[in-house]
């Protein structure tokens, strides 16, 4: 049996599937990843500075560049692709234990996924680094249109930033705990479109192995977890995810064990 067929069989059998997605699931929607061949940082390593919290706080020029980049971000007009839609079908089938995304683009929700753990936050809201006030990002982008280049918090005058996790910022504890629980409970864990190089998110891929689950990596390029994965699929995500989910949906979910005595 080929690898796709084998993984489709595991997906058909599994009652609890957790999926971790990364930037690679959104490249087919026109949003570049960071580290792939056409990635933002592959093409311009200096762009990494915009994602460093210390540089962002210390240097107004970094903030201006970050706001310009957010203003022109392809996520504002991007549409979900077949990979995102396949995960909506998986959720509707009742097999999905958790959908954890490192992405900030909101495309899983736009596709129709109802329960998404955004481990690195969201581009769609801004947060004040001083008072924590949050607002929809489009409201701040309108201020850029009106001529501001480093908009400050309207409540306290503090530094505003999209509600995303930059390097040097801690993940929200409750969000990380939910992601870890979903990873631990997974009979099958799919790591999709992620280089598995950003921790602690990448470490989630190791959790199912410790609790007896299977790990499948779906990524065009090698990841550090390929050697321990039960299968590695290099096919384009927009083709392979619909194929896997389509196969799984032809079989009913395996009944889960009930409480003792039932
Ligand atoms: P990454 O850039 O490190 O890795 C993406 C991986 O996806 C690469 O290994 C690449 O080979 C693979 N890939 C790209 N397109 C693919 C396709 N169509 N089929 C199969 N594989 C494909 O991304 P990461 O691991 O998610 O880490 C980067 C960080 O950057 C994350 O924290 C994420 O929040 C952020 N980010 C998010 C977005 C977004 O929201 N869309 C975009 C860029 C970066």
Question: Which residue out of 4, 20, 21, 23 has the highest number of ligand 1 atoms within 8 Å of its CB and is therefore the one to mutate?
Answer: 23
Q: Is 193 exposed, middle or buried (0-12, 13-18, 19+ CB in 10 A)?
A: buried
Give the number of other Cβ atoms within 10 Å of residue 231's Cβ.
Answer: 16
In the chain, where the domains are located = 1-31+80-120+171-255, 34-72+122-164
- Give me the catalytic one of 71, 73, 84, 120: 120
Residue 120 designated active-site: yes
In the reported structure, the alpha carbon of residue 153 is separated from the centroid of ligand 1 by a whole-number distance in angstroms of 30
The domain 1-31+80-120+171-255 belongs to what CATH superfamily? TPP-binding domain (3.40.50.1220)
| Atom of ligand 1 minimally distant from the CA of 40 | 43
- 200 CA distance to ligand 1 centroid (A)? 15
CA distances from 253 to 17, 78, 182 (A): 11, 33, 18
Task: Judge contact between 23 and 193, C-beta under 8 A.
Answer: yes
Per-residue pLDDT of the chain (262 residues; tens, 9 = 90+): 589 999 999 999 998 999 999 999 999 999 999 887 888 878 877 788 889 999 999 999 999 999 999 999 999 999 999 999 999 999 999 999 999 999 999 999 999 999 999 999 999 999 999 999 999 999 999 999 999 999 999 999 999 999 999 999 999 999 999 999 999 999 999 999 999 998 999 999 999 888 899 999 999 999 999 999 999 999 999 999 999 999 888 865 555 554 543 3
State which of 4, 19, 20, 24 you would mutate to test the pocket of ligand 1, scoring each by most atoms of that ligand within 8 A of its C-beta. Answer: 24
Any ligand 1 atom below 6 A from CB of 122: no
How far is residue 129's CA from residue 125's CA, in Å, rounded to a whole number?
13
Topology of domain 34-72+122-164, CATH: SIR2/SIRT2 'Small Domain' (3.30.1600)
Q: Is 208 in the pocket of ligand 1 (CB under 6 A)?
A: no
Closest-CA residue, ligand 1 atom 26, reads 22
25 CA from centroid of ligand 1 (Å): 7
Expressed in percent and rounded to 5, the helix, strand and coil fractions of the chain are 40, 20, 40
- Mutation to probe ligand 1, out of 19, 22, 50, 234 (largest number of atoms < 8 A from CB): 22
């Amino acid at each position: 049996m080929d690898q796709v067929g084998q993984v489709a069989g595991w997906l058909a059998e599994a009652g609890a599937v957790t999926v971790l997605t990364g930037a690679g699931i959104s490249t087919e929607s026109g949003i570049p990843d960071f580290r792939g061949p056409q990635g933002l940082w592959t093409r311009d390593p200096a762009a990494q500075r915009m994602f460093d919290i210390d540089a962002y706080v210390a240097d107004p020029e970094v903030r201006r560049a970050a706001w310009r980049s957010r203003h022109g971000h392809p996520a504002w007009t991007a549409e979900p692709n077949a990979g995102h839609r396949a995960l909506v079908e998986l959720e509707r089938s009742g097999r999905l234990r958790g959908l954890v995304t490192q992405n900030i683009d909101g495309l899983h929700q736009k596709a129709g996924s109802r329960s998404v753990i955004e481990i690195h936050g969201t581009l769609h809201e801004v947060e004040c680094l001083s008072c924590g006030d949050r607002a929809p990002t489009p409201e701040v982008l309108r201020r850029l249109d009106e001529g501001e280049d480093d908009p400050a918090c309207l409540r306290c005058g503090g530094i505003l930033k999209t509600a995303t996790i930059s390097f040097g910022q801690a993940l929200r504890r409750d969000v990380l705990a939910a992601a870890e629980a979903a990873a631990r409970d997974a009979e099958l864990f799919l790591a999709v479109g992620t280089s598995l190089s950003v921790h602690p998110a990448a470490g989630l891929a190791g959790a199912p192995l410790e609790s007896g689950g299977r790990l499948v990596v779906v990524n065009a390029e090698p990841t550090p977890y390929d050697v321990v994965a039960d299968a590695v699929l290099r096919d384009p995500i927009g083709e392979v995810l619909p194929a896997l989910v389509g196969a799984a949906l032809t079989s009913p979910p395996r009944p889960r064990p009930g409480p003792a005595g039932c």
